[in-house]
Amino acid sequence: MRRILFINPFGIGDVICTLPLLDAVRRAVPDAYVGFWCSERSSELFRSDPRVQALFPVSRGDIKKISSGSAFAGMKKTAGLLWSLRKGRFDTSIDLSLDWRYTNLSMLAGIRLRAGLDYRGRGRLLKKKIRLDAFDGAHIIEHYFRVLEALGISGVPGAPVLFIPEIEKERARKLLRSRGIDTSLPVAGIAPGGGASWGRDASSRHWPAEKFAELAFRISGELRMQVVLLGDRAEKAVSAAVAAACPRIKADLTGETSLQGFAALISLMDLMVTNDGGPMHVSTAADAPSVSIFGPVDEKVYGPYPPGAKRHLVIKRDLSCRPCYKGFRLNNGNCSRECLVGVEVEEVFQAAAGLARRRDEKK
């Protein structure tokens, strides 16, 4: 086991949850050549990461988009991917795709030891299978870690850690200063979007924009922090709604950076407030003190890791219908979104204020 390929084609949060496995492999096999096969969007997280020597930034979804314009272009992309994988001469794959098609390409690429999660029989081409019906009963990182155990790598998974180059942090500082932010004073980031991997259902994970606006007003006034809005281009509308309702927001930086730049901005924040989703996972992996608001998703499975960390707080409502995202499906027919609408600004503010006080005490 000297040339190891990780496979995780899912969203940013899922890929970040792979990082403890990456660190564990590095500890167990320090001289391993490591590749990472993920979506084009997520691949940017690894472009400067010294833990990864080769990137394969194309998912089945990426190929489907290409094929929708040209079937030939889709086939050409697939053939190119297979050729690149074969050139990598990988002997082992850690397959978290839950999809036999990724395993099939791994097999065609000559990878003999294929270990992964066998979701409802889709892992039939895996050599070492870990049965999975759903991610429940334990954190997703712990489910992932079972694959390493099947390969003889044991231990307790650590917290996910993103590698953010200093040059990206300096670019982030320059961007903040260009928008009137004094980087010598406390800055709070609010990411009112997130959950892009859910597509049209992403908004079902969002705390109401008007509540984010009220929270921003209080953070600015009572905690005396400069407040900036963060997110990707697809979330411009939700950020604009928050900004329009809160004149105290210093800058809306939504969609103004690459994914790596987004992570760099978050790493500079003295406080982050997010929904459940990619920004929450980036906040924890960049170790920015964070408050995350959970609705339909189970925080015990998809929340900050390890659970109970004092720098990463979770706000949620305990309802009989929650969580309604189970078995990879959102079961929220006739939903009033009470799990999110019912979360009060005061509760989120007090959590944020607690983190701010802890920061001040350390100074």
Task: Tell which wins on pLDDT, 180 or 61.
Answer: 180
Task: For residue 247, give the CATH number of its domain.
Answer: 3.40.50.2000
In 3D space, the residue among 123, 126, 155 whose CA is nearest the CA of residue 142 turns out to be 155
The percent of residues above 70 in pLDDT, for the chain, comes to 99
In 3D space, the residue among 347, 310, 108 whose CA is nearest the CA of residue 207 turns out to be 347
Domain count, the chain: 2
* CA max distance for the chain: 61
Q: For the chain, give the number of residues.
A: 363
Residue 287 lies in a domain: yes
Are 66 and 199 within one domain? no
Average pLDDT over residues 157-177: 96
Are 183 and 258 within one domain? yes
Are 185 and 328 within one domain? yes
Q: Which of 150, 182, 205 is the last residue of a domain?
A: 150
The set of residues, in sequence order, having a beta carbon less than 8 Å from that of 277 and lying 6+ positions away, is: 13, 193, 194, 195, 196, 202, 205
Domain extent, residue 229, equals 166-362
Are 90 and 172 within one domain? no
Average pLDDT over residues 37-44: 93
Q: What is the pLDDT of residues 85-96, one digit of tens each?
A: 999 999 999 999
pTM of the model: 0.94
Check if the beta carbon of residue 62 is closer than 8 Å to that of residue 40.
yes
Are 217 and 357 within one domain? yes
Q: How far is CA 319 from CA 278, 297, 322, 356, in A?
A: 24, 12, 5, 29
Residue 155 lies in a domain: no
The set of residues, in sequence order, having a beta carbon less than 8 Å from that of 178 and lying 6+ positions away, is: none
Are 51 and 197 within one domain? no
- Give yes or no for residue 237 having a pLDDT over 70: yes
Are 217 and 142 within one domain? no
- Give yes or no for residue 345 having a pLDDT over 70: yes
Residue 159 lies in a domain: no
The percent of residues above 90 in pLDDT, for the chain, comes to 79
* Paired tokens of 282: 């980036």
Residue 14 lies in a domain: yes
Residue 161 lies in a domain: no
Are 214 and 343 within one domain? yes
Position 358 scores a pLDDT of 84
Residue 27 lies in a domain: yes
Position 66 scores a pLDDT of 84
Residue 160 lies in a domain: no
Residue 231 lies in a domain: yes
Q: What is the pLDDT of residues 195-220, one digit of tens each?
A: 877 787 788 899 999 999 999 999 99
Q: How far is CA 7 from CA 27, 88, 97, in A?
A: 19, 14, 6
Split at pLDDT 50, 70, 90, the class of 64 is confident
Q: Which of 150, 181, 206 is the last residue of a domain?
A: 150
Q: What is the pLDDT of residues 258-291, one digit of tens each?
A: 999 999 999 999 999 999 999 999 999 999 999 9
Average pLDDT over residues 93-105: 95
Q: Which of 150, 181, 205 is the last residue of a domain?
A: 150
- Give yes or no for residue 342 having a pLDDT over 90: yes
Are 236 and 357 within one domain? yes
Are 192 and 341 within one domain? yes
Position 155 scores a pLDDT of 87
Are 171 and 67 within one domain? no
Average pLDDT over residues 286-303: 95
- Give yes or no for residue 10 having a pLDDT over 60: yes
Are 210 and 325 within one domain? yes
Task: Tell which wins on pLDDT, 13 or 363.
Answer: 13
Q: What is the pLDDT of residues 312-334, one digit of tens each?
A: 999 999 888 888 888 888 887 66
Average pLDDT over residues 190-195: 93
